[in-house]
Structure 1
């Protein structure tokens, strides 16, 4: 036992000696001799600096006396880096992540600091680092941490899946001067405690369809400093100290998003920034389906065929009514069936998509048969109107209206969504031809957008995808569904509008002199049969019924042929 007690003390003494030697070099020669120490990097307050990390020792000197705590942070695009207070990292003194930061509180008369960085894989990791200073009245991010390993946790923890991205953080504490103890975090109320602090949640989108590391390094600097965050980020909400320190968002695979939190002290009108975190909601290192190869082949094939069919019904749907009904029945049945098998089975994505396509074909055929047999287009128009109403309601909730607090309730959301979706088919029944042509233009144009979205990122695909996510995930109601709207999205909106308007105008012009709907083939067959029964002058009247014709044909097939030969006596 005595030996085990001496080893930790010896290691601590060695670490202190190493720190003292390195700091002595920097302070004494002011960076001249620093170049002879491998990995030693000198920083300045507030200055962003590019680093290539293998094993580095960031050092900060000449810290002003009014600075009470400092946040050191490092960001790489996707490779992890370990940042530590000590040269020998431990879980309580270090953090390994691609967005990592540490808070250092300063002692009296302290004017220099040092941290340690290393690459866990042993390979160089490029990124950007910055050191941000704060004063006595500024809040201390993560100072009331009770959940994570570090004593003071300024980092934002991010987790994502197919449906949502969730960020969590440790509560902050009010600021305090050098040499003074930190205020208690256990105070339950009062304006003199941390309960007065507010947390502003910010979001920033990187350029669409751009996974460049240089682009990331340039834009992460816009979300590190307080003033830059407020100027460039989009403020989504404000949490109080009584709220749960967690916020969820809709996942956007392949789209870079930066999240940052600013904690404010309303009493002193001061603020501090947590270490920002970013995600692409995908993996850069996985062998299959990584950020560079997003989109399965099955998805591309499925939506490419759907886009071609949608382009056809956009311009010719009403003229070729049976083809339109098949496509609409396919969409209606496939959407419902995909939700059903996703909710009730654990089949692979490709298997679910194959079964969805099969059931979509069955649904399309059934809708065509219903119209063929019943002869009334109103049932078909109701289905078409429901699809148009679903899309129209999805567009409404795709706007900022969908993030209103009242719609966090599933009951309110689904009642409102269903009410809007049901109104549209009622209008279509009142104006059947115009409603059907409108549905052809809008739905057909959107399937083209979905086909494009299977090859390149566009936010318009989330018009319906967010509704699907909410239907399949019980916790998605708490997620913010904000998405970027950049140049590609404006182009896709223009394409959608042009397809919709041109398709509607073309069909309305061409169908203006035709019947509202083409006659049902079954009804035409019945009328033709009745006409043949009553019109004896029609040659077809004397044609035997189909049943008799088939019977006679079968009898001919099995009738025995008579032998050929002379049947009359020969004349002598």
Structure 2
């Protein structure tokens, strides 16, 4: 294997000498300094670094573009096993004892132009070698992080590292021994860096990548998600955040030598820039905006006067309860288009609202309806609890543990309503009504607060989502929306408590009132309405008058005197 590497280095050096006259396609790098690079149409850029210090054992070159794939290779013509193609591409080069110059080659796979930034980082013989124990990808040493995403989760994978070694030294074996003198002593740390919300510009990405390029910058600016040993799987899942830029970084540490190295950072927006459907610039569907705008207006009404207009509140709560359940069921069981599912969800939500109102109208059981309202508040409170870092605890990556605790919290909240039904109902109006306004705003501009309930929905729809880390960033827009939510909720609760303090707890059921009035009329003989025929008797009498002919009552001619 070292002979293969030396032959490769000689090939690269020969190409360097042949390209000296083509300075326009050569970019000179300095170690640790970012360099802007533009790849011309059907062109190849040679990235060169020289004057490499003698204590440097290996180098990593990383090149990043906004969304276009580029091919980074050891050779002028990309070869299988000697190149990598990605929007975040990187290569690692081991150095020979006397080597002071290294070059790589950069081009686009389709011959189009591309622009991005690159940086070359040096490492010594004591630093661990990222991806040196690779057994998956074609590269012999693969320092890249591979990323895949779908609507529910984003998954990253990377190859195990090896302990450091000097120039010209045969690399230590990866899987011969598991002792403390082998690569099994290495530790890994996975980091997450969130770009500014709603900002998918290239300038924002470049400035963010510069903040997470090396080990020290990653530690200072990123959030550590998890630490693991060499015996753990090198694959992790995170909740997908369409439209939200995220940079994932991995640091490998050698606890014996107290050294570290970084893999090539990788970024994603969980959407496609050059797609004709579901582009990053067109994440908000018109149907979604219409649906949640109506929901937000209804929630604002419920927030301030929901208890006063009890039937309207029951309709809105029944709508939300049935719509959520039906959307989960129809998504799991059918492959229908999103817009069709949303329309059917709205229709079934209306049915659920009508059923809720009619059940109260017919049976008059306020407590049963209020308990359903309490379950909705319990669902939201439980979702908020698991939206915090508590939801990323390893124990809650188990579905059984998660759903048992979630259900217990959800069921516990309605118990409060048994003792204080009116106050509980008003609190639900304020909290849930305020959150629907947040969801309505999210239909037009991104806010992380929508993932309070969306993460629970994802977990219901995707069985593999339980393994995903669900942390999301809280940035300026989120703190603004939290303030709006709190102000709306507190204002709605205070206003309704003040207005309803002198009123009866709940309005009576119209059907129950009608039955009571009918019984009163039957028993109260002094009531004039007691002697009045019932409505059905009056209708039947009128029908008989219209359909039956009146019989003559004897002689009708005048008497002759």
Q: Which residue of 1 aligns with 2:52?
A: 63
For 1:530, the equivalent position in structure 2 comes to: 519
Structure 1 residues 267 and 15 mapped into 2: Cα distance closer, same or farther (>3 Å)?
closer
> Following TM superposition, by how much is the alpha carbon of 1:149 offset from its aligned partner in structure 2, in angstroms?
1.0
- 1:93 paired residue number: 82
**TM score, norm. by length of structure 2:** 0.94
Secondary structure (helix, strand or coil) at the match of 2:51 reads coil
How many Å apart are 1:21 and its aligned residue? Answer: 5.2
User: How far does residue 120 in structure 1 lie from its aligned partner after superposition?
Assistant: 2.0
> Is the contact made by 1:15 and 1:87 (CA closer than 8 Å) also made in structure 2?
no
2:160 corresponds to: 171
Question: C-alpha separation between the residues in 1 aligned to 2:488 and 2:72?
Answer: 53
SS state at 1:115 partner: strand
Residue 36 of structure 2 is aligned to residue 50 of structure 1: yes
For residues 38 and 274 of structure 1, the distance between their equivalents in structure 2, rounded to whole angstroms, comes to 30
- Structure 1 Cα separation of the partners of residues 546 and 269 of structure 2: 71
Find the counterpart in structure 2 of residue 204 from structure 1. Answer: 193
**Residues 299-341 of structure 1, C-alpha deviations (whole Å, 9 max, x = no match):** 1111111111111110011111111111111111111111111
1:103-252 alignment, distance < 5 Å? 103-252=92-241
Match of 2:329 in 1: 340
TM-score, normalised relative to structure 1: 0.92
Measure the CA separation in 1 of the matches of 2:462 and 2:19.
57
Q: Secondary structure at the match of 1:223?
A: coil
Change (3 A) 1:343 1:261: same
TM-superposition CA deviations, 1:93-152 (whole Å, max 9, x none): 111110000000001101101111112232221111000010000011000000001111
SS in structure 2 opposite 1:423? helix
TM-superposed CA distance for 1:167, in Å, is: 0.2
Counterpart Cα distance in 2 of 1:402 and 1:413:
9
Contact map agreement 2:12 2:75 (CA 8 A) in 1: no
Deviation at 1:288, TM superposition (A): 2.2
**C-alpha distance in 1 between matches for 2:225 and 2:215:** 16
Residue aligned with 2:211, SS: helix
Q: Quick one: distance in 2 between partners of 1:345 and 1:546?
A: 49
- State the partner residue of 2:530: 541
1:13–1:107: structure 2 CA closer, same or farther, 3 Å change rule? closer
Match of 2:27 among 24, 41, 47: 41
> C-alpha separation between the residues in 1 aligned to 2:177 and 2:545?
99
2:387 counterpart of 1:380? no
Q: Match for residue 249 of structure 2?
A: 260
Q: Which of the numbers 352, 359, 366 marks the counterpart of 2:341?
A: 352
CA distance in 2, matches of 1:499, 1:274: 46
Q: Is the 8 A contact 1:15 1:86 kept in 2?
A: no
Q: Does 1:420 align with 2:414?
A: no
For residues 16-66 of structure 1, give each alpha carbon's deviation from its aligned partner in whole angstroms, at most 9, with x where no partner exists: 67852534766xxxxxx6xx5331111110000111123211111111111
Cα contact 2:243–2:271 (8 A) shared by 1 = yes
Unaligned 5+ runs, structure 2: 1-5
After TM superposition, the structure 1 stretch with the greater mean CA deviation from structure 2, 46-55 or 547-556, is 547-556
For the 8 Å contact 1:72–1:131, the answer to whether it is kept is: yes
Question: What is aligned with 2:3?
Answer: none
CA distance in 1, matches of 2:539, 2:268: 70
The one of 263, 269, 289 equivalent to 1:274 is: 263
Partner of 2:301: 312
Which is worse superposed, 148-157 or 288-297?
288-297
Corresponding position: 1:469 with 2:463: no
RMSD: 2.2
Q: 1:126 to 1:370 in 2, by over 3 A?
A: same
CA distance in 2, matches of 1:394, 1:40: 54
Q: Which residue of 2 aligns with 1:511?
A: 500
Residue 14 (structure 2) aligns with? 20
* 1:448-475 per-position Cα deviation (integer Å, ceiling 9, x unaligned): 1111111111000000111111122111
2:128/2:252 contact within 8 Å kept: yes
Give, in whole Å, the separation in 2 of the partners of 1:51 and 1:153.
Answer: 22
1:326 corresponds to? 315
Q: Specify every segment of 5 or more residues in structure 1 that has no aligned partner in the other structure, as ranges.
A: 1-11, 27-32
Q: What CA distance in whole angstroms lies between the structure 2 residues aligned with 1:476 and 1:161?
A: 11
Q: Is 1:445 aligned to 2:439, yes or no?
A: no
Task: Report SS of the residue matched to 1:267.
Answer: coil
Aligned partner (choices 444, 447, 456) of residue 455 of structure 1: 444
Cα distance in 2 for partners of 1:155, 1:559 equals 94
2:382 equivalent among 387, 393, 406 = 393
Deviations 1:485-526 (A, max 9, x none): 000000000000001000000000000011111111111111
- Measured after TM superposition, the shift of residue 220 of structure 1 is 0.8
Question: How far is the alpha carbon of 1:248 from its aligned partner?
Answer: 0.6
Partner Cα distance (1:519, 1:492) in 2 = 37
Alignment CA distance shift 1:13-1:416 (3 Å): closer
Q: How many residues matched?
A: 550
Structure 2 CA distance for partners of 1:181 and 1:542, relative to 1, 3 Å: same
